[in-house]
Structure 1
Amino acid sequence: MSKMIFINLPVTDLDASTRFYKALGASRNPQFSNENAACMMLCDTIGVMILTHGYYRTFTSRTIADARATSQMLLALTVEARADVDRLVGAGVTAGGRADPNPPQDHGFMWSRSVEDPDGHVWEIFWMDPAAAAGDTTGVDA
């Protein structure tokens, strides 16, 4: 079995967050979803568990942070083409997110923008030239 990762995020409005993650291309796995949680699969091995605050609190005694006021992590998601970065950020905004809480970054061989979900969790959407990622910088401004 391949390793999987599940990112658990507290959310204030489960329906709004479900719409946002669907706009980013995730599919809802009904097997692990109910009125308190939705399992949003970005691919076969990456899931985002969006949990109501009440349900999230059953897993931790720590205070739930306000993701708009503090930064605990930056989540990064790759896309296959440079144009997909802008398309996905736009789809996230249409679904209730906020574009570019962090400045876009253009390194020539890599383009990234960020989108904030309805609760303030920041996702960096980025594309990297596969040849540059493999170390072939022929024709790439370094």
Structure 2
Amino acid sequence: MYQQMIFLNLPVNDLDASKKFFTGLGYSINEQFSDENAASVVISDTIVAMLLKKSFYSTFTKKEIADATKTSQVLIALSAETREKVDELVDKALALGGSPTGETQDQGFMYGRAFDDLDGHTWEVIWMDPAAVAG
């Protein structure tokens, strides 16, 4: 069965620093689709974050590139297997230079926290109780 993929294209200021940040979170770089202008960060079998130097990113759009530290255009949300995995990933991100953003959301059946990466892109990490999802 075909599994649709998602590729997040994110402009970054410092490609090497961003690569260190995301590999520090436990993700890998697919060197086949990486070069001096871009890094392909494998988040899962179906999710890839393409980190693009701003000069390279600008070749894909005629629009002004937003400064994610000042404006918000998208919130990236990732699921986590457990509440503890939410904390583990967000705490790692903060230790690697990410910034906390928003409040911890704890509704019992759903738990989430968020961080901004080095360029200000917001990543939400959420866990939902499988029993609640099943209805």
TM-score by length of 2: 0.95
Q: How many residues align?
A: 134
Superposed CA RMSD in Å reads 1.0
Unmatched runs of 5 consecutive residues or more in structure 1: 136-142
Q: Which has the higher helix share?
A: 2
Aligned-residue offset at 1:16:
1.2
1:35-94: CA deviation from partner (whole Å, max 9, x where unpaired): 110000101110000000010011011111011111101110011110111110111112
- What is the match of residue 131 of structure 1? 131
Structure 2 residue identity aligned to 1:15: D
Aligned-residue offset at 1:25:
2.8
TM-score by length of 1: 0.91
- What is the match of residue 28 of structure 1? 29
Q: Which runs of 4+ in 1 moved over 3 A?
A: none
- What is the match of residue 76 of structure 2? 75
Larger radius of gyration: 1
Distance 2:73 2:26 in 1: 24
Check whether the contact 1:23–1:88 (CA below 8 A) recurs between aligned residues: no
Unmatched runs of 5 consecutive residues or more in structure 2: none
Instruction: Give me the identity figure in percent.
Output: 53
1:115-126 equivalences in 2 (<5 Å): 115-126=115-126
